[in-house]
Structure 1
């Protein structure tokens, strides 16, 4: 069945009437806030991370404070598993590790009746609904008849930044990880996601794996990838700043792109797959401004 451009646009408009923020739904792109943007320098390239204080304020505040102290400079990625995560942090139980206070879990937040997002799919494996809010992939459970508020949380799509922890829920401190493989959605809701890579994901993927394939020699710790420098973009000299704009997931243009991707309208698909769309299968676009 062919879907006309007019019909696609109508679907997008309806989606945004019910799901998109009214104050910025006309803008296809949005600029990052330098005060919540991190520039990570690795030996082989630069990576830009957008933080999410609107969802995980305590974790963002702790992470930004450590970045500003130069805490992570020289620290290595010491737990890097192919197809899973790249994790970095100081040596466990070291004085540096113990110097950082613990921070409580921020895996979910309550949603009022007026809360909105751009929906991607109903009846996700892990949630009633999935979609995007402020360019972050989210899962959502609407309010039940017995409850006045719903519940939402960020999802473990490739490229997200989350805080590692011990077995106890409120035991995160400074160790963090990037998702570098398939989406480990079973971690949703039990870990705190507080950012995502918007530029340089190829450099994250190039981080030295530390888990050896069975039969190979163990990877020497001297081969672990170090963090050359990590700094807030606002603290970088203006002439050295990298300015990125990201796709605005609250816009009608993004809602329309979701529908086109769901229905695979390109002529390449001579046989149409089922119109199922995983929220982690929607790569968000970014563009270099400076």
Structure 2
């Protein structure tokens, strides 16, 4: 009788159903509460309009400028150049496979505007300690510790051959630290990073010649060139361009170059045309989950979770502001 009763109770009990599917990193980011998203102010956005594609499709590229105190003189120059409309009528002149797309004045004869600053090689890194803060958009982040560090599943710092003190995020940007107690910190050359073209040392460039990384992260460039931003929209308009056949991917004929119609600060565009974007704040609960999902992609597709991630494989999520 007892056996029959137990069988009846088991039959009446609801089935537990299938286990919930693991969430992808993009699903995790999409569920982040509004308080964990940081507005990017229009003055921190650089909007580049290329000539339309052969199909007539517009080609807009949006760059988030790196927050202070990183690369300060070069970022100041970029704002000066944009306000002077210096890039209008210039072009993308170099596209090197698995490396960079570079733009500026192909003639090297266009006069630069007055008031540009001269950066030094020391400015490729910034000293951050517990008293420093970084303003990202209109939100101030107190750096204690200096960076929101990227950690492995076991809690240890991710091992990074280019940044012995660890890697993490500041103001939405991936950064590295020197280690051994040094406060030296710098933004990294991940996919989409925007840097300043220059000649041989001690030249550091003014910011009139820029490039975006369109290939595997060239981290060997870290601390050798000023990183001034990252492409957060429209990278496909650069990464899909024909590769140059000249040395280092430069286009050999003028007609191969891709014309730049304009480059403007978001704050200088009409209000209706300004990008309204946000990034997911570092240090929040959602970013912690996002990092864990990038480090440990779950079955059924992944057979062997990696247990860690390269810093450049954790792109900080960006979304249109609601």
The Cα of 1:94 is off from its aligned counterpart by 1.8
Map of 1:124 onto structure 2: 160
SS at match of 1:59: helix
- Tell me the secondary structure at the aligned position of residue 226 of structure 1: strand
The answer as to whether partners of 1:122 and 1:130 remain within 8 angstroms in 2 is: yes
The answer (yes or no) to whether the contact 1:74–1:227 under 8 Å persists in 2 is: yes
Report the counterpart of residue 61 of structure 2 in structure 1.
Answer: 47
- 1:169 CA displacement: 3.3
Residue 95 of structure 1: CA displacement? 4.6
Structure with bigger gyration radius: 2
The equivalent residue for 1:60 is: 75
**Secondary structure at the residue paired with 2:295?**
helix
Matched residues in 1 for 2:48 and 2:217: separation? 22
| CA RMSD, Structure 1 to Structure 2 (Å) | 2.6
Q: After the TM superposition, which residues 89-100 of structure 1 pair with which residues of structure 2 at under 5 Å, given as runs?
A: 89-91=104-106, 93-96=108-111
Structure 2 residue 225 is matched with structure 1 residue 191: yes
Q: 1:159 to 1:262 in 2, by over 3 A?
A: same
CA distance in 1, matches of 2:280, 2:177: 21
- Which deviations, in whole Å up to 9, do the C-alpha atoms of 1:163-197 show, x marking residues without a partner? 01111134312211101111001000111001111
Match of 1:255 in 2: 288
Contact 1:169 1:190 in 2 (8 A): no
Bigger drift between 185-194 and 273-282 goes to 273-282
Match of 1:38 in 2: 46
Q: Is the 8 A contact 1:210 1:224 kept in 2?
A: no
How many equivalent pairs are there?
259
Kindly indicate whether the alpha-carbon contact (under 8 Å) linking 2:42 and 2:275 is maintained by their aligned counterparts in 1.
no
Match of 1:13 in 2: none
Give the drift of 1:266.
4.4
* Unpaired stretches in structure 1, ≥5 consecutive residues: 6-24
Q: Which moved more, 1:170-179 or 1:223-232?
A: 170-179
Question: CA contact under 8 A between 2:297 and 2:306: conserved in structure 1?
Answer: no
Partner Cα distance (1:124, 1:261) in 2: 16
On the 8 A contact 1:81/1:209 being kept in 2, the answer is yes
Contact 1:163 1:175 in 2 (8 A): yes
The structure-2 alpha-carbon separation of the partners of 1:81 and 1:95, relative to structure 1 and needing over 3 Å to count, comes to: same
**Unaligned runs of at least 5 residues, structure 2:** 1-19, 21-32, 53-58, 131-143, 151-156
The two structures have a TM-score, normalised by structure 1, of 0.81
CA contact (8 A) 1:162 1:177 kept: yes
Distance (whole Å) between structure 1 residues aligned to residue 236 and residue 299 of structure 2? 27
CA separation of 1:119 and 1:187: change in aligned 2, threshold 3 A = same
1:203 aligns with 2:240: no
Q: How far apart in 2 are the matches of 1:115 and 1:26? A: 24
Quote the residue 1:243 is aligned against. 276
**Of 86-95 and 150-159, the range deviating more from structure 2:** 86-95
Match of 1:103 in 2: 119
More divergent stretch after superposition (199-208 vs 61-70)? 199-208
CA contact (8 A) 1:244 1:288 kept: yes
Among residues 211, 214, 217, which one is paired with 1:177 in the alignment? 211
Q: Secondary structure at the match of 1:27?
A: helix
Asked whether the equivalents of residues 163 and 179 of structure 2 are also in contact (C-alpha less than 8 Å), the reply is no
Tell me the residue number matched to 2:309: 277
**Structure 2: how far apart are the matches of 1:175 and 1:206?**
20
Compute the displacement of 1:284 (Å): 2.5
Q: Is the 8 A contact 2:74 2:117 kept in 1?
A: no
